[in-house]
Amino acid sequence: MTRAMTMAEKMLAAHAGLDEVVPGQLVECDLDGVLANDITAPIAIKTVREIGAGVWDPTSIFLVPDHYSPNKDIKSAEQTKVTRDFAHEMGITHYYEQGCMGIEHALLPELGVVGPGDLVIGADSHTCTYGGIGAFSTGVGSTDAGVGMATGRAWFKVPETIRIQVDGELPAGASAKDIILYVIGQIGVDGALYCAMEFTGSTIANLSVEGRLTIANMAIEAGGKAGLFEVDDVARKWLEGRTERPWTEYHSDPDAQYKQVIKIDAADIVPTVAWPHLPSNTHPVAESRHIKIDQAVIGSCTNGRIEDMRAAADVLRGRTVDPNVRCIVIPATQGVWLQCVHEGLMDVFINAHCVVSTPTCGPCLGGYMGILAAGERCVSSTNRNFVGRMGDPTSEVYLASPAVAAASAVAGHIALPSDL
């Protein structure tokens, strides 16, 4: 009889061809996909060239130019060209050219390229996003991604799992973003170091898939190796007709062993903002109203899905952005962008005096489309607020939900939608 296992352990065991694994065990696994973007792909491609074997499976490599795309300068254009030329040379089917692309971690689930039970590595730390639909996905270095592209295999140390159980009803105005900010605020940026974070409970069961993807996306901000959600009826409905391949569901055994079980009452979670310079530096929005802002960003792989666009538009409808604030809205994919058009959300954003961008990571990493000058402050629905993350080292980034970012843009300071 095999030992009771968590869903993370079951997925790694299955991909290693083993009946069971234990935390700390080193395993070599078959991969379902390898991801890289316009920054990380050129380094991974160099590794593939050095190995000299070509790619293991051109249908299982995902190349998404999203960080500096459309190209912001000559250097970024050259990086994208390296990626594009390699994709064409190797016959890679999942290369997403400008005009078809989106922010990688929003695009791949939306298109059904990744699905439940998949084991995916990506040369980007927020690859953990796909755990929101029951995949084991994690970020790796570009060299490891290159080895994965060439061989279809990767080494893993089986992580311990922390079970995070959230029960009850969220207070008015609180969202999935507030759940993950609350968790990170409680355990710290290394509280789940190299652990799988498994989210469960009645509150989680009532979240949309978009909300789950938001939470899984920020598992890395607590040091997590993966952020995992079991597939349920909500996920199955969202996945049906979307995924390219049949999927496999993995569920933790009732008697599985966890490193830690954290129980949270949803009533304790309020609209939250993470002050500089750590995602764990969390404060209630209600206690942050004194902070004036120069910019608001609504988008990213964390909060650029249609649900996020609707939340922001609900706040901005019939209102205008404070004349001293720049509000930048970035739908995460072309599909989301088009849906915003069909639902009239673009009218709302433009009438509110927002800038609306084509899909790009852009300002999230201080790339372009919203760099901060010295001393400027931004409230953002992105995932990181480290020193200099969005521009000048003396600038400041405050992390919040799309609704709070939108309300703050209108108020000119960090604010709740209800303040308006």
> Residue positions in the annotated binding site for [4Fe-4S] cluster?
301, 361, 364
Q: How far apart are alpha carbons 71 and 223 in whole angstroms? A: 31
Q: How far apart are alpha carbons 128 and 137 in whole angstroms? A: 5
Q: How far apart are alpha carbons 176 and 400 in whole angstroms? A: 11
- With H, G, I as helix, E, B as strand and everything else as coil, classify residue 298: strand
Nearest Cα to Cα of residue 358 among 348, 374, 369? 369
For 52, list phi and psi in degrees, rounded to 5: 80, 20
- With H, G, I as helix, E, B as strand and everything else as coil, classify residue 364: helix
Bridge partners of 196, per DSSP, are: 161, 226
Report CA-CA distances (Å) from 358 to 37, 66, 304, 335, 361.
17, 10, 11, 11, 10
Relative to beta strand 26-30, strand 153-157 is antiparallel
Q: How far apart are alpha carbons 409 and 135 in whole angstroms? A: 35
Residues 6+ apart with CB under 8 A from 323: none
Contact 319, 354 (CB under 8 A): no
CB-count exposure of residue 2 (10 Å: 0-12, 13-18, 19+): exposed
Q: What tokens were used for 21?
A: 């694994």
Report CA-CA distances (Å) from 214 to 54, 131, 211, 266, 284.
34, 10, 5, 17, 19
Nearest Cα to Cα of residue 322 among 409, 253, 259? 409
Q: How far apart are alpha carbons 63 and 173 in whole angstroms? A: 36
Nearest Cα to Cα of residue 278 among 177, 393, 389? 389
Sequence ranges of the binding site: 301, 361, 364
Place of tokens 């309300």: 407
Q: How far apart are alpha carbons 76 and 62 in whole angstroms? A: 19
